[in-house]
Amino acid sequence: MSKTYIESPNTLPIYDECDILVVGGGAAGHSAAVAAARANPEASVILMERYGYFGGDVTGAYVLFIPTLNWRTHSLIRGNLEEWFTRLDKNAPDSYIAPPLKYVGRDNPYICKKYEIYEACVNDREEPHTPLRTIYFEPNQLKLEMDAMVQECKNLKCVLHGWGTKPITEDGRITGVIFESKAGRQVIKAKIVIDATGDGDIYSQCASFHGASSGHIDYDHRDGQMALVWRAGGVNYEAFARIRLDEPKVFRRYIEDLWEFAGYKTMFFPSGVDGIVWFNNWLLHKDCINLDDLRETEFLVRNSIRRILAYCKDTLPQCFKDAYLYDIAPQVGVRLSRRLDGVKYMTPLDSACNTAFDDVIAWTSGFGAPVEIPYSCLIPKDLDNLICPGRHLSADPVAIGGLQLIPQCVQTGQAAGVAAAVAVADGATAKTVDIKKVQKILCEEQDVPLPRQANTNKELVEELEAINYGRDFEFNKTIRQKAGLDW
Ligand SMILES: Cc1cc2nc3c(=O)[nH]c(=O)nc-3n(C[C@H](O)[C@H](O)[C@H](O)COP(=O)(O)OP(=O)(O)OC[C@H]3O[C@@H](n4cnc5c(N)ncnc54)[C@H](O)[C@@H]3O)c2cc1C
């Protein structure tokens, strides 16, 4: 048995009390706090973040790519996520690259030609090729917009450099959180807590969960893949992209060699700013709950940066001759760790059957046809007044791969915030909240398209009905057959 130390009981100061406490200010938590404050201006909201800025993986781990916010010609994922780019359009229009909304899904060869060098900005799987609402962006400009969004909400207070460490529970409900900072341990009491730490830091101590530190990590999927992203400047990305498009075999060979020289799987992508690329990486069998894995990730990638740049300069001088190390992401990137064991546990069958949920709170672009995400996969089975949006929501190791991207984290965060706001206004709990009210506010006040609502886009529904909601697509059939469910 490992050695232990018994901590003596403490009396802790109460730092503050509020209606809604959001722990973690990444894509999900930031979205939740803003949505809650806007949906109920009478409610007091606190957003606590362990670092000094918002965005988590997005702005801190430099995940600078957001895939497909449209379905065909329809802008499907909107709300707080499109707001990031509406704001950047106004304040820093050169800080992101994406086909404009008005062109997505249309048969427009000129726009396709313009964007084809940016991976996944054009749907080249079907004829005719069409532009997709896929976005590459500059993270520091986005940090400024995320700051502005929270500061505009008068009923929202931010606690930066505060690390939520322990839930306080009474009679099957969460009632607050203990947090650490330079000022020591303190308490924030709250009616509703939103755990948006991405790693279930709060729920893992009071509710059941899967994944990291539950004793089972599924290394075959995204569970055990960490990263430390870095950026290179002085790169001619277009020259590289032309090789990818014009000489796919050469491109493939180049990437395989790059992996060999790096010692791990890595690849670079545009960053939203001309001349700068980000090096994404996939370090297998790494768990962010394990301190040794965290240290190894930091050292492994930093030790390889000069080697990778030298390889790129030698082999692709037309792209990399002037390249230099631009910067290294301030935080490691964690794809997945813990996953909630929620009231609803999402599986790949939910996409394959395109399950319709009464408590749908997000309609997201999936492989082929939009997929519904229910509120109940944000709710722990065994505890009330805790909502858990973001990459640690309740889903199996396969399903989570399509539910933990930036769009779904912002979407589930926004819904969690509105649900908390409605619960506080009505004196309900996270479990008894009137979900119809939540859906109405999301759709009618917060620009979130949902199915089966008064303002649901009829054309979109007709197109979905015409393809049986994608249920007959080959990959969906295969999933159903494997589960013995085909009909
Ligand atoms: C390398 C990498 C590549 C990826 N590629 C893509 C991609 O190409 N496209 C895409 O859409 N998605 C991609 N993803 C997934 C996506 O970026 C994340 O799943 C998503 O951004 C997670 O958002 P989140 O808010 O749930 O979690 P996080 O971004 O992890 O946010 C959690 C926030 O909570 C804070 N926090 C954590 N613990 C505490 C605590 N105890 N107290 C206080 N604050 C705390 C953190 O500092 C952070 O700000 C990638 C992820 C990684 C790591």
Instruction: List pLDDT tens digits, range 90-143.
Output: 999 999 999 999 999 999 999 999 999 999 999 988 889 999 999 999 999 999
Q: H-helix or E-strand containing 407?
A: helix 406-426
**Is residue 390 a contact partner of residue 7, using CB atoms and an 8 Å limit?**
no
The per-residue pLDDT for 394 is 97
Give the pLDDT confidence of 146-198 residue by residue, as tens digits.
999 999 999 999 999 999 999 999 999 999 999 999 999 999 999 999 999 99
When pLDDT is cut at 50, 70 and 90, the band that residue 208 belongs to is: very high
**Is residue 101 a contact partner of residue 132, using CB atoms and an 8 Å limit?**
no
Closest CA relative to residue 97, chosen from 80, 85, 82, 106: 85
Give the pLDDT confidence of 264-291 residue by residue, as tens digits.
999 999 998 989 999 999 998 888 999 9
The per-residue pLDDT for 384 is 98
When pLDDT is cut at 50, 70 and 90, the band that residue 1 belongs to is: low
High-pLDDT (> 70) share of the chain, % = 97
Q: How far is the CA of 62 from the centre of ligand 1 (A)?
A: 10
Which residues are CB-contacts of 82 (< 8 A; sequence separation ≥ 6)?
Answer: 69, 75, 101, 447
Q: How far is the CA of 154 from the centre of ligand 1 (A)?
A: 26
Tell me the two tokens of residue 138: 């500059």
For the ranges 38-42, 118-122, 483-487, the lowest mean pLDDT is seen at 483-487
CA-nearest residue for atom 23, ligand 1, is 27
Q: How far is the CA of 334 from the centre of ligand 1 (A)?
A: 6
Q: What are phi and psi of 366, to 5 degrees?
A: -110, -160
Q: Could you tell me how many residues make up the chain?
A: 487
- What does the alpha-carbon distance between residue 382 and residue 55 come to, in Å, rounded to a whole number? 29
Ligand 1: nearest atom to the Cα of 31: 25
When pLDDT is cut at 50, 70 and 90, the band that residue 484 belongs to is: confident
The per-residue pLDDT for 250 is 87
High-pLDDT (> 90) share of the chain, % = 85
Say whether pLDDT at 69 is over 60.
Answer: yes
Q: How far is the CA of 305 from the centre of ligand 1 (A)?
A: 23
Tell me the two tokens of residue 388: 């858990």
Mean residue pLDDT of the chain comes to: 94
- What does the alpha-carbon distance between residue 123 and residue 39 come to, in Å, rounded to a whole number? 36
When pLDDT is cut at 50, 70 and 90, the band that residue 211 belongs to is: confident
- What does the alpha-carbon distance between residue 409 and residue 481 come to, in Å, rounded to a whole number? 30
Which residues are CB-contacts of 373 (< 8 A; sequence separation ≥ 6)?
Answer: 346, 357, 360, 361, 362, 363, 364, 393, 403, 408, 411, 412
- What does the alpha-carbon distance between residue 33 and residue 105 come to, in Å, rounded to a whole number? 32
Name the residue with tokens 């999900």.
Answer: 28
Segment 409-420 mean pLDDT: 98
When pLDDT is cut at 50, 70 and 90, the band that residue 219 belongs to is: low
Say whether pLDDT at 409 is over 90.
Answer: yes
More confident residue, 215 or 188: 188
Say whether pLDDT at 367 is over 90.
Answer: no
The per-residue pLDDT for 126 is 85
Ligand 1: nearest atom to the Cα of 227: 1
- What does the alpha-carbon distance between residue 36 and residue 156 come to, in Å, rounded to a whole number? 9
Peptide bond into 128 cis (omega under 30): yes
Q: What share of the chain is helix, strand, coil (3-state, %, to 5)?
A: 35, 25, 40
Say whether pLDDT at 218 is over 80.
Answer: no
Q: How far is the CA of 34 from the centre of ligand 1 (A)?
A: 17
Kindly compute the dihedral angle of the four CA atoms of residues 343, 346, 350, 352, in this order, to the nearest 10 degrees: -170
Ligand 1: nearest atom to the Cα of 392: 26
- Of 121, 147, 205, 406, the one to substitute when testing ligand 1's pocket (max ligand atoms within 8 A of C-beta) is 406
Angle of helix 79-91 versus helix 139-151 axis, rounded to 10: 110
Q: How far is the CA of 337 from the centre of ligand 1 (A)?
A: 11
Closest CA relative to residue 281, chosen from 261, 272, 291: 261
CA-nearest residue for atom 3, ligand 1, is 63
Say whether pLDDT at 366 is over 70.
Answer: no
β-bridge partners, 328: 230
Instruction: Kindly list the protein residues whose Cβ atom lies closer than 6 A to any atom of ligand 1.
Output: 23-29, 48-51, 56-58, 61, 63, 65-67, 163-164, 196-199, 201, 227, 229, 280, 333-335, 390-391, 404-406, 409
| Predicted structure pTM score | 0.97
Q: H-helix or E-strand containing 309?
A: helix 291-315
Q: How far is the CA of 228 from the centre of ligand 1 (A)?
A: 13
The per-residue pLDDT for 67 is 93
The per-residue pLDDT for 477 is 85
Q: How far is the CA of 255 from the centre of ligand 1 (A)?
A: 26
Rg over alpha carbons for the chain, rounded to the nearest Å, is 22
CA-nearest residue for atom 4, ligand 1, is 63
The per-residue pLDDT for 215 is 62
- DSSP-derived secondary structure letter, 155: T
β-bridge partners, 226: 283, 334
The per-residue pLDDT for 458 is 97
Q: How far is the CA of 319 from the centre of ligand 1 (A)?
A: 30
More confident residue, 472 or 461: 461
Ligand 1: nearest atom to the Cα of 407: 11
The per-residue pLDDT for 64 is 97
Ligand 1: nearest atom to the Cα of 282: 1
